[in-house]
A and B are shown apart, each in its own frame.
Chain A
């Protein structure tokens, strides 16, 4: 299904007063931008953050001038949830240098979607590691690129996923499928908030 997008900037209503964040992390080409586009009410926009090699003093312009800084680009979209709440979805690269910026950009995030291409499963190891380290709630969504289906138990084992972390199947090109991944994530976060050590979930892969 086509998402509702617009080329002009679509302003928020004057009553909007609470911005929320969900981050989609994954390797290059895994479908992050596609998923953002599928559910966003605006055309995905791109922006960047600069940082020094040490990951600190990100906004030190002398470092930028001295070319000791590097830049991480990320894209984002937006979903107006109601009169006050606006959800921003960020598509962010999972590579190592990106995680220096996590706290700076994504502290206070509701949670994360780790988007996985089962043909390149090891691309996701580092991201899962970092999310666990940061204590950020997440779900894992396997994006459907066709090819052989991998049994959930196999994917779970390959990712060394804790039993309570939901493992989903999705098609990032589908608005409905991407929406279901978001809903699963927020339900998971609610479950964690209610009971920090929940029972293992049922498998949600086919």
Chain B
């Protein structure tokens, strides 16, 4: 897959994102959104995209993907947005707040149980 605007500039961040400068303002990816691959890497795919698809064979948080790729979080989100737009990954977004906007009491109880079992 080749993308418009890509060039061979030595700056790695510029290169991996095809020169685009921003994620969409409504980028749905949180630091702890869990990402799952929905397809295998395809031949000729940009190497970072292929790596993400391999990393996310199991659910993997955005921040773990960034650490593994050794790329800043924001750049990782751009790459994830590409893959998401193509239907190659799915995203499990965090559910923290109840409709009231406060943390969901049931969730807090689950967190406490999990911590006490550590």
Distance, CA A194 to CA B64, complexed state (A): 33
Contact residues, B59-98 vs A (CB, 8 A): 59-61, 63-64, 66-68, 72-75, 77-78, 92, 94-97
With A12-B59, A61-B19, A193-B103 already in contact, the answer to whether A47 and B73 are too (CB < 8 A) is: yes
A19 touches B32 (CB 8 A): yes
Q: Is the CB of B31 within 8 A of A88?
A: yes
Which B residues from 35 to 68 make CB contacts under 8 A with A? 55, 57-61, 63-64, 66-68
Among B60, B64, B94, B111, max chain A CB count under 10 A is at B111
A49-95 residues at the B interface, CB under 8 angstroms: 49-50, 57-62, 64-65, 71, 76, 78-82, 85-88, 90
Q: Is the CB of B21 within 8 A of A186?
A: no
A105 within 8 A of B: yes
Interface SS majority for chain A: mixed
Q: Is the CB–CB distance between A108 and B61 below 8 Å?
A: no
In the bound assembly, the distance between CA atoms of A179 and B115 in angstroms comes to 7
Take A59-B23, A88-B31, A193-B103 as given contacts and tell me if A186 and B118 are in contact as well, using a CB distance cutoff of 8 Å.
no
CB–CB B58/A79 < 8 A: no
C-beta contact mask, A1-22 vs B, less than 8 Å → 1, else 0? 0000000010111101111110
Q: A57-B22, A61-B21 are in contact. Are A186 and B105 (CB under 8 A)?
A: no
On whether A186 and B61 interact (CB within 8 A), knowing A21-B32, A59-B77, A60-B21, the answer reads no
Residues of A contacting B116 with CB < 8 Å? 183
B100 — nearest CB in chain A belongs to which residue? A193
In the complex the two chains form, is B58's CB within 8 Å of A20's CB? no
Contact of A87 among B57, B102, B114 (CB under 8 A): B114
Docked CA distance A148–B62 (Å): 42
Known contacts: A87-B114, A194-B105. The answer to whether A19 contacts B72 by CB under 8 A is no
Q: Bound state CA distance, A56 and B77, in angstroms?
A: 16
A189–B103 touching, CB < 8 Å = yes
21 sample A-B contacts, Cβ–Cβ < 8 Å, listed by A number: A11-B60, A17-B59, A18-B95, A20-B96, A45-B64, A49-B73, A59-B77, A71-B72, A78-B64, A79-B115, A81-B110, A82-B114, A86-B34, A88-B31, A110-B96, A110-B103, A175-B118, A179-B118, A183-B112, A186-B111, A190-B105
User: 13 additional contacts, CB 8 Å, given A85-B114, A183-B115?
Assistant: A12-B59, A19-B32, A19-B61, A59-B21, A61-B13, A61-B20, A81-B110, A85-B110, A175-B118, A183-B116, A189-B103, A190-B109, A190-B112
The 8 closest A-B pairs by CB, nearest first: A81-B114, A19-B32, A59-B74, A11-B58, A45-B67, A47-B67, A17-B92, A50-B72
Chain A residues within CB distance 8 Å of chain B: 9, 11-14, 16-21, 39, 45-50, 57-62, 64-65, 71, 76, 78-82, 85-88, 90, 105-106, 108, 110, 175, 179, 182-183, 186-187, 189-190, 193-194
